[in-house]
Amino acid sequence: MSEDRTAEIVLSLEIDDAALADRLAALLGNVAGLRLAAPGEHAAATIIARDPRISPADIALTQRELDVLALMAEGASNKMIARQLGISVHTVKFHVGSLLDKLDATGRTDAVAHAARRGVIEL
């Protein structure tokens, strides 16, 4: 294998908070067996800390809306969703309409993108 288990583990940092980044860099710089990545260098793992103020509001979606949303993210049509959930196409469209409303989206593609951005669903 190309993996050398004696090699240093290379870590890259993606941290919004500069103070936190400095503290982490200082701490990790003294640990034997791992190393911070040089700019552009491929890292085995990345340490991420995003500004939490960006995504505080998780939208209030009902269970059924979450079901529909998940299938939408899989690219399923209203008809397929209806079959999958054992409900009529009209009901699916009803839930999709609610989702477009709550997610402030103009269409199902936009809805999935918004939901993914806000962490409501995982792609």
Partner DNA sequence: CCTGGTCCTGGCCACCCGGCCAGTTTCGCA
Partner DNA sequence: TGCGAAACTGGCCGGGTGGCCAGGACCAGG
Binding footprint of DNA on the chain (CB under 7 A): 60, 62-65, 77-79, 82, 85, 87-91, 93-97, 100, 106-109
Shortest reach from residue 61's CB to a copy of itself, in Å = 17
DSSP-derived secondary structure letter, 103: T
The Cα–Cα gap between 89 and 106 comes to 19
Tokens of 99: 């989702």
Work out what residue 79 binds among a copy of itself, DNA, none; the CB cut-off runs from 5 to 8 Å by kind: DNA
How far is C-alpha 28 from the geometric centre of its chain's CA atoms? 26
Work out what residue 57 binds among a copy of itself, DNA, none; the CB cut-off runs from 5 to 8 Å by kind: none
